[in-house]
Structures are given as C-alpha cells and as structure tokens.
Amino acid sequence: MNGDIIIRAMSHYLFLALPLLVSCSTIFVVEVSRHGARTPVSFQPWDNDGRWSTYQPGELTPEGMRQHYLIGAELRNRYIVETQLLNETFYQPQINAYSTDVHRTLQSAESQMMGLYPPSTGPNLRVPQLEETAVPPIEVYNETEIIQELGQSALPNNTQVVPVHTDSSDREYLLLADDTCERYRYLVKLRKNSTDVLNLKSESAGIYQTIMAYFKVSLDEAESMFSDIVDSLRCNNWYGFTVPAVFGESFFTQANLLDDQLNQLVSYVPDLLSRYAGSDFLSNLSYLLNNAKNQANNLKFQFYSAHDDTLLNILSALQLGNLLQPTFASTLIFELIQDDNNAGIYNVTLTYNDVLQVVGNCPGTSCPLETFLEFINARAFPNITEACMMNYDNVNWGSLTKTDTKSSGSSGLEWYWWLIIAIGILACTCIAVLTAFYIIKKRKKSNKSAYGDLDFVESKGENLDFVESKA
C-alpha cells in the first residue's frame, strides 16, 4: 500500500516537473473514470439490515460523490491553476463530458464537474436590470425573496452547471461494448462454456460449496449468484461493514481473485475479444488526438464517466495486462503534449490512477504520437459497427443465429397484396437457387472469420472453446 502511494506521488511530481525539464505543454486531455463508491448491484441478506439506509441497489453514495468532487478539484489544480489548459471559468467549446445512461455514472460526472468548476465560478446575470425579467412564465412561491437572495448570481453561490451528455448510441458502443456489440456478446457467451473456464470453476469448487451451504442452493444456482455475492462483499469491504463470518477475509480473498480470473478468461481471452472490447474507444481516441494535433476545434478536455468494465476494456485493448477490477473512481488519463521548442513534436502519456503506463511499442511512458497512433489503430477494427454484426463472417452460428421470426397471422391485407407477396417470394427463391448453383461452381464455401483471428471448435455437448488460428 505504501509503495503504491509513493509511486503515485512520484508520478504526480513527474507530471508537474515534465514541462520544466523538457519545455513542453499539455494541449489536450482525455479522461475515463469509473463511477464513485456505490451500493451493491444486488442486495444480499446481510445488506438488508439498514446499512444502506434509503439507497437502492447500484446507487452512488455520498462517499462516491465526494470521490469525484475531489478528482475534479485535482484536475482544476492541474489543468487550470498550474498549466492553464482550461479557462478559469467554464467555456463550453473546451470541454465535453459524457456518461453512460446510468444514475451512478451521471451523478459521478456531475460531481467531478462541480470539483472542476466549483461554486463561485459560475456566471452572474449579464445585465443587472434583468433581475426582475429573468423569471419563468409560471407563478413561483416566494419569488421576490429568492431573487433577493440570488442577487446577480444566476444560481445560488454562483454554481456552475456543466452539461453531461448521454444520449448517443455511438457512445454506448464506445463505453459499453458488452451491451452494444452483438457479436462480442455471443463470443463471450461461448467462452463461458470453454474448457479453461470450466476447469477454473472446478478447481474452485470450495468457493461454490460455501455458497451452496449458506444459501441452500444447487451448484448451478451458486455459480449464477457468485458475481453478485462478490460485488456485495467488495462494497461492504470498502465501507468496512461486517458480513457473515463464512464470507470473511479468507473467502473474500479467494472469491475476489476468482471473479477477476473468470472475467479475464471470459471477456478478454483470446486477444480478439480484447480488440472487440476496446476497439471503438481506441478509434475515437485516435480521432480526438488527431483533431487536437491539427487544432480542428477548441476542445481541450474530453471526459467519460463509465464503469469498471469500461476501464478493463481499454486496458485490455491496450494490452496493459492489469485486469484486476478497478476500484471505485479509478481513472485513466491520456495527455497529448507538445514540444514548446518544436511545434511539430507531440507525445502521449497515459496514467492509470496516477501511475504512468508504457503502451505498446512506445520507448517509455512518454510516447511519440505517431508510434502511439500506429499501435491503437492496429488494435482497433476499421468499422466496429460492421464487425459487431452477427452475420459479419461465414461462421456457422448454429441455433443461436437470429433467423427465427414469429408469424403474425392474418394482418388484414387484401388478397391482391398476398398475391404480390407470393410472386415476390417465388422470384426471390428462383434467384437464390440460381445464385447457389453459380457459387457452388465458382468456389468452396468458406467457414473462416473475415478477420481470420479465430476458429471455433465444438467439444462435448454444446461447450465451445476458442483456439488461435494458425493462418
């Protein structure tokens, strides 16, 4: 623990000293953070004793809000006070803040933005005489008193409101690959029944037996409950709350490690899954860095409020290997740095919880922009939307292919519409048959993926494993 603190302190002071040593300036920042401390996503019996008070499962707590407010305060010191990257008061073209559409990430983003632009930095009315004009077209209780208390401040205590965006499906691809990429979800489903995953579960039988004995459930039910139980234990451990003795320190240590190992095997092995998980983010990062280098706009700070899986997806895609669950409010920060003496020289740095990282083929923690872009562009798919389609390649997906459609019965169409439909079906069938004969003559049917990264091997029953392609 002390070693981590020392490393973080050294990394921070190196961040401060870097401009003095090599005369350079930070010109653009991308931050990705996990939400702050929260309640368990699924309450276990020990969670129902009032310890979470009025909070719902998976909800950000005041401690989580505080974490992100403090991150914002530190970023204000770094990028406003020390380096003047951002204006002292909020200037919209400089900052984009995005969040997944989840309460805890939205609240975390708002808390961090409040730390970046705290009360007293917000605007006043532009014209004093507008005090009596800047009112809504509805009756407001105690309107006169409220206006007097506000004075010239737009909001109490000159609070600054920073917009947080969350409405784009494109950003959902970027931040939640497991929720938005259909093919990635399918590959992960296959991995859950792979030999290495089943072997790991078998080796950890004692953990599941403890769950079975305590909850009086079957092995299948224990395996299904496992992740939610570990999540509850992690939350309670963070807050210092007590749990049943059977789930004490020894069990927690083993279960915590098992959950991390299973997540890595299922979500990121083989490497193709890592590329799927982080591809859209890397493509977006490349776009942002190029825009910043070319001064395409005034954007200086891009912020994403997301989840532990989001950070793991990025770390895995960058092949950084540290795939233990990120703690609450964990943060990745990418910085684009320009040489003050040579405007054509740019470098990229990445810190994970204030520890500098070495990425890909970079010669050190400060990576030439060209080298960094070459690496992340090679890791990303050219078109992640297309790559996520289930029919992207010619692999036989079996019964899980989404081809079933339910008949809706008679829809009330006139007879001539049914005749037109029947003729159309007949014509399509003829074309399909002719096309099939043509294809059979011209080439053999290929079962390889368009990217050639994986072959699928069917083993006992419906259990499927991945093996690396030899091609």
What tens digit of pLDDT does each residue of 43-95 get?
Answer: 999 999 999 989 999 999 999 999 999 999 999 999 999 999 999 999 999 99
Residue 163's pLDDT is 96
Give me the residues paired with residue 188 across strands: none
Residue 17's pLDDT is 46
CB 466, CB 454: distance < 8 Å: yes
Q: What is the sign, positive or negative, of the torsion defined by CA atoms of 255, 260, 266, 267?
A: positive
Residue 442's pLDDT is 59
Asked if residue 447 has pLDDT above 60, the reply is no
Least confident of 101-115, 321-335, 370-384, 414-428: 414-428
As a whole number, mean pLDDT of residues 330-337 equals 98
228 class by beta-carbon count within 10 Å (0-12 exposed, 13-18 middle, 19+ buried): middle
Question: Which DSSP category does 81 fall into?
Answer: I
Cβ neighbours of residue 367 closer than 8 Å, sequence gap 6 or more: 347, 348, 349, 358, 359, 360
Residue 470's pLDDT is 34
Single-letter amino acid code for the residue at 150: L
178 class by beta-carbon count within 10 Å (0-12 exposed, 13-18 middle, 19+ buried): middle
Asked if residue 4 has pLDDT above 70, the reply is no
Q: What percent of the chain has pLDDT over 90?
A: 68
CB 256, CB 230: distance < 8 Å: yes
Asked if residue 14 has pLDDT above 60, the reply is no
- Per DSSP bridges, beta strands 464-468 and 454-458 are antiparallel
Least confident of 27-41, 163-177, 182-196, 246-260: 163-177
Residue 189's pLDDT is 92
Q: What is the sign, positive or negative, of the torsion defined by CA atoms of 93, 86, 341, 366?
A: negative
Separation of alpha carbons 45 and 380, rounded Å: 43
CATH 3.40.50.1240 range(s) for the chain read: 2-177+271-386
Tokens of residue 276, six digits: 């799927």
CA-derived radius of gyration, the chain: 27
Q: Is pLDDT larger for residue 350 or for residue 465?
A: 350
Cα 187 vs. chain centroid, distance in angstroms? 18
Q: What percent of the chain has pLDDT over 70?
A: 79
Cα 96–Cα 381–Cα 93 angle in degrees, nearest 5: 15
Give residue-wise pLDDT tens across range 205-240. 999 999 999 999 999 999 999 999 999 999 999 999
CB 277, CB 268: distance < 8 Å: yes
Residue 21 — very low, low, confident or very high, per pLDDT cuts 50/70/90?
Answer: very low
Asked if residue 6 has pLDDT above 60, the reply is no
Average model confidence (pLDDT) for the chain? 84
Q: What is the CATH number of domain 2-177+271-386?
A: 3.40.50.1240
Separation of alpha carbons 59 and 384, rounded Å: 31
CB 417, CB 364: distance < 8 Å: no
